[in-house]
Chains A and B, each alone.
Chain A
Amino acid sequence: MLNALTVLILCQFVGEVVARGAGLPLPGPVLGLLLLLGWLVLRDRAPDPALRQTGGWLLAHFGLLFVPAGVGVVTQLGVLRAAWLPLLVAIPVSTFLGLLVTGWVMQRLARAEPPDSP
């Protein structure tokens, strides 16, 4: 658990340092994700069970981790009140279009592959 958490935080730390140091347009944790993925691929064996367990635990509680940032809405109530109409239209419509385009393109291009049972 502790080793696994150290690995995850170390990846984020290196990602942060590289992203800021090199002025890359990527957030540190994303670079950390790539770093960990690259390391797992290069090592070419199943990830440590402890790493899988800790990572799985964090991902299983993803929703909780969003809460503090979500509560930040309280500081933006004025903005939301001023822009409620554009947001009420823009968010659902753009989400619908994104779902439509991604799903449609993926199904068309992936058709040649063996279908998966749900």
Chain B
Amino acid sequence: MDKLFHLWVYLETTPLLGLAATLVVWRGAVWGSSFLGTNPLGNPMLLSVLTLVALLLITSTPYSAYFEGAQYVHFLLGPATVALALPMHANLSRIRASARAILPALLAGSVVASVSAMLIARLLGADRTVVLSLAPKSVTTPIAMGIAEQIGGQPSLAAVFVLLTGLSAIVLVGPTMKLAGVRDMRAQGLAAGMAGHGLATARMLLVSETAGAFGGLAIGLNGLITAVLVPLLAGFLAG
């Protein structure tokens, strides 16, 4: 027992534990989600986050100790965001062909999603940090965290809201498109990528390749639009 304790103390001081835990839990979650099929609660990211949170709470490990190792995975979000240029480049001709529709659609959706989130939260009594952290919630995590930090929100809170938004979008995209009578796969994909970033886009890729391509485009462009617009809007709306 004593030996085990010393081993634990040693492992806690190295980044190895957090890194190994993240990768192993992710593998387990991917495996587990294959049984849950298309159930959005079976999303491997959600399963991984819930499992790791439970592990940290049970072992009373501070997040900073976990992140010591997990940061190596987290770091790759930056290069992965840069890599979004590749699907955008591959679809450049199709994107150019419908640029006149894409830009107004993304601009309108981006403003509506961000402003409605901030207004509703503020009206229902959320504090300023929460309201500001909600502003970039539709955007892919690395961009959202950057925006949240810049406007005075909480980056880790923003990351959580991004996750919850993506899960909401997965659940809502089908019924909403039906309700609005949107059958165009380009429009469905664009909406999914705008409102639910990579999570909803990955889901749309299962339905249609076209939707996936426009989703990828929406992730990148909405990131840019939101990064420019939100700092301007947030000051007014957060109160």
Mark A residues whose CB is within 8 Å of B.
5, 8-9, 11-12, 15, 25-30, 32-37, 40-41, 47, 51-52, 54-56, 58-59, 62-76, 79-80, 82-83, 85-87, 89-111, 113, 115-118
Contact of B63 among A65, A74, A89 (CB under 8 A): A74
Whether B70 and A68, one on each chain, are in contact in the complex, defined by CB atoms closer than 8 angstroms, is: yes
- A67 CB contacts on chain B under 8 angstroms: 22, 25-26, 45, 48-49, 52, 70, 73
Whether B124 and A118, one on each chain, are in contact in the complex, defined by CB atoms closer than 8 angstroms, is: no
Whether A25 and B231, one on each chain, are in contact in the complex, defined by CB atoms closer than 8 angstroms, is: yes
- B126 CB contacts on chain A under 8 angstroms: 83, 86-87, 90
Q: Give the interface size class of chain B.
A: 35 or more
**Which B residue's beta carbon lies closest to that of A38?**
B85
Whether B49 and A70, one on each chain, are in contact in the complex, defined by CB atoms closer than 8 angstroms, is: yes
Whether B159 and A70, one on each chain, are in contact in the complex, defined by CB atoms closer than 8 angstroms, is: yes
Mark B residues whose CB is within 8 Å of A.
22-23, 25-26, 43-45, 48-49, 52-53, 56-57, 63, 66-67, 70-71, 73-74, 76-89, 92, 97-98, 100-102, 104-106, 108-110, 112-114, 116-118, 120-127, 129-130, 134, 137-138, 141-143, 145-147, 150, 154-157, 159-165, 168-169, 172-173, 176-177, 179-188, 190-192, 194-196, 198-199, 202, 207-208, 210-211, 218, 220, 223-224, 227-228, 231
- B23 CB contacts on chain A under 8 angstroms: 64
- A68 CB contacts on chain B under 8 angstroms: 22, 66-67, 70-71, 73-74
A28 to B160, CA, bound (A): 21
Given A67-B45, A116-B210: A41 in contact with B79 (beta carbons within 8 A): no
- A80 CB contacts on chain B under 8 angstroms: 160
Contact of A109 among B85, B101, B211 (CB under 8 A): B101
- Listed by A's residue number, 27 A-B pairs whose Cβ atoms lie within 8 Å are A12-B78, A12-B82, A25-B150, A30-B143, A33-B223, A47-B86, A56-B86, A63-B48, A66-B141, A72-B160, A73-B159, A74-B56, A75-B156, A76-B154, A90-B121, A90-B126, A91-B164, A94-B120, A95-B168, A99-B169, A102-B187, A103-B188, A103-B190, A106-B101, A106-B105, A107-B181, A109-B101
Extra A-B contacts (17), CB below 8 Å, given A59-B83, A71-B56, A98-B191 = A12-B78, A27-B143, A28-B146, A30-B227, A40-B85, A59-B80, A67-B52, A83-B126, A87-B126, A91-B117, A94-B117, A96-B176, A98-B194, A98-B195, A103-B190, A111-B184, A116-B186
Whether B190 and A55, one on each chain, are in contact in the complex, defined by CB atoms closer than 8 angstroms, is: no
Contact of A41 among B92, B110, B220 (CB under 8 A): B92
Distance to closest chain A CB from B101 (angstroms): 3
